[in-house]
Amino acid sequence: PKGDVQLSVFRPRGLASSRPCLYFIHGGGMIMGNRYTAANVPLALAMHFQAVCVSVEYHLAPEYRIDAQVGDCVSGLKWLVNHAPEVGVDKGRIIVCGHSGGGGLAVGTISRLRKDGQHAVQAQMLLAPMLDHTMGSWSTNQYRNQMPWTRATNTFAWECVEGVLEGVQLENRSSHKDVYQVTEPATYLDVGTAEIFRDEAIAYAKQLMQDGVQVELHVWAGAFHAAEVFVPAAELSRQIMDTRIGWLER
């Protein structure tokens, strides 16, 4: 979009009309990965609906801090909206899909757009999102050594990022109604029971519900972080993907 943020656009062959779009923000704790990391997940979802998938490559920490990373994601999304007809996208049906660290950036992206008075997103999908820099939840300690994303790795990632996600306040928000409003888009959120992000994901979903946002939350029993990426053929992984497809259909 500005010459330094790369996007990959995946479209079905023979696209004859504008299609819905998944705007994908990859995981990796905001310190590693690229726009192809775990892209099989959004691509599988997009293929089911003959939709377009656009994946953004944001700059990584520690060279770039969280504000710059959110800015990259916002720039890519604005470019997509402005060039929707060229890439075969119905700009009224764009869903932001963030995985792990990308889930946190998805929240920050939508928050920044809202502050700018823009509401270009129909919904958001947050897949095991990384949200809480304080790491004060029970699950952060309970699964501190659970691979593939341990508490030590998470600590290192947040130290590299050196920032707090805008739009995320995980404490009681009775006095923070200006932070979240019902302008948040409909939200799908899932997380495994056996991962450090479990409690912060549940807390975020609860806060959205309290603010009147339409939320669908799934907490997958026995799933570790990104289980559907590492063991896609497992029965639970297939159930996870089928449930995501069901939400998109609705």
- pLDDT tens per residue across span 13-70: 888 789 999 999 999 999 999 999 999 999 999 999 999 999 999 999 999 999 999 9
What is the DSSP pairing of strand 52-57 with strand 89-99? unpaired
Across residues 158-176, what is the average pLDDT? 57
Higher local confidence (pLDDT), 14 or 94 = 94
Q: How far is residue 53 from each of residues 46, 123, 125, 225, measured CA to CA in Å?
A: 6, 14, 13, 23
Q: Which CATH number fits domain 6-249: 3.40.640.10, 3.40.50.1380, 3.40.1160.10, 3.40.50.1820?
A: 3.40.50.1820
The pTM of the full predicted model, rounded to 2 decimals, is 0.90
What pLDDT score was predicted for residue 115? 84
What pLDDT score was predicted for residue 171? 45
Res 168 pLDDT > 70: no
- pLDDT tens per residue across span 113-152: 988 877 778 999 999 999 998 888 989 989 899 999 999 9
Q: For the chain, give every domain's residue range.
A: 6-249
Average pLDDT, the chain: 89
User: Among 6-15, 163-172, 196-205, which range has the highest average pLDDT?
Assistant: 196-205
